[in-house]
Amino acid sequence: MKPSFASITLGACLLLACGDDAGGGVGNEGDVVGGPCTANSECADGSECLDEGDFPQGTCTVECASDEDCPSGSVCISSEGGVCLLSCTSDDECRNGYECEGKSREDGGGEVNVCNGE
């Protein structure tokens, strides 16, 4: 019996850790947006570490002018000249030291909830 396309795709995702934010991507442990850091070298290429003020234990981020500049799961807020932060709907979605709160969008499109330091 030949394996189906769906089972092959699932197997490939498991091998490649699809959807796993640990050590990469976007999320509370992501090295593009959202993960902790103390230096830019701890974030992915093209990302930077914000480690002062509203960002306890630091956070990896990407500069932006609008949401289109941010990876999926993050939005562009008007902080630090425009940075991508993790979008959220409750504090439970944010890592320790962060809470889900409304911040102004960089492109002037109102407010959006993001994980921001307490």
Per residue in 35-83, pLDDT (tens digit) is 999 999 999 999 999 998 889 999 999 999 999 999 999 999 998 899 9
DSSP of the chain: -PPPHHHHHHHHHHHHTTT--TTSSBSTT-TTBT---SSGGGS-TT-EEE-STT-TT-EEE-B-SSGGGSPTTEEEESSTTSEEEEB-SSGGGSPTTEEEEEEEBTTS--EEEEEEE-
Residue 1 corresponds to which tokens in the numbers above?
């019996």
Distance in Å from the first CA to the final CA of the chain:
55
Average pLDDT, the chain: 84
Cα–Cα separations (whole angstroms), residue 38 to 5, 21, 28, 53, 77: 42, 18, 15, 13, 21
pLDDT at 53: 83
* pTM of the model as a whole: 0.78
Cα–Cα separations (whole angstroms), residue 2 to 9, 54, 58: 14, 53, 48
